[in-house]
Amino acid sequence: MADHEKILFIDYARCIGCETCESACRFVHGQSRINMTRTVGGIMAPVYCRHCENAACIKGCTRGALLRAEDGSVLLNSVLCAGCETKNCMLACPYGGIFCPGRMDDAMAKCDLCQRRLAMGMPPACAELCPCGAIHYVSRAEAKSMATPEYEAAHKKVMDHVRPVLPVLQRKSKG
């Protein structure tokens, strides 16, 4: 992927869980494409699409509703998505960035980096309105350089909540 491709970087160490990002997204799109979650430890954090370079969701979608745009973002064609019973894309996403916003036959929802706003020269709404400066619209290289030890620790807590590692159940031995 080219370095000019931009993604969202949310510094969970700076996020205060105010839900402004979710509200801004809901205002812009009619439904939020970023989802707030509360971890077991009580941390409120936004869960969002990372527009992965090697997006598992694209591979998981059997209807071709997910595609990589020229700018590197992963976009959802809701017309092709509507009615999918498998929700493979949601299951494939390691970040919980695709979710079912309503009824089971509704199209899935995910961040599109505010494509309409970008076309008008504006940044994604969540990045522009975040009151604590936790959300950034940056290149992948910039995002990697912004990952501090504090970010890594906070990110791990959120990801442990989003994708918990469940212990393997041991079979009882006979005898």
The arithmetic mean of pLDDT across residues 16-39, rounded, is: 94
- DSSP code per residue over 23-89: HHHHHHHSS-SSEEEE-TTS-EEEE-----TT-HHHHH-TTS-EEE-TTS-EEE-HHHHTT-SS-HH
Per the domain annotation, does 167 fall within a domain?
no
Q: Residue 168: inside a domain, yes or no?
A: no
Q: For residue 119, tell me if it sits in a domain.
A: yes
CATH number, position 20: 3.30.70.20
**CA-CA-CA-CA torsion sign (133, 57, 1, 32):** negative
Assigned domain for 53 exists = yes
Position 113 scores a pLDDT of 97
Domain with 128, as residue range(s), is 6-162
Q: For position 1, what pLDDT does the model report?
A: 44
Identify the pLDDT of residue 168: 58
The per-residue pLDDT for range 115-146, each reduced to its tens digit, is 999 999 999 999 999 999 999 999 999 999 99
User: How distant, in Å, are the alpha carbons of 46, 123, 139, 140 from that of 4?
Assistant: 24, 15, 6, 8
Give the side-chain half-sphere CA count within 13 A for 166. 5
pLDDT for 3: 53
Examine residue 77 and state whether it is found in any structural domain, yes or no.
Answer: yes
Average pLDDT score over residue span 99-120: 88
Q: Domain tally for the chain? A: 1
DSSP-derived letter for residue 98 is -
pLDDT at site 163: 82
- DSSP reduced 3-state for 115: helix
Q: How many CA atoms lie within 13 A of 89 on its CB side?
A: 31
Residue 175, pLDDT > 80, answer no
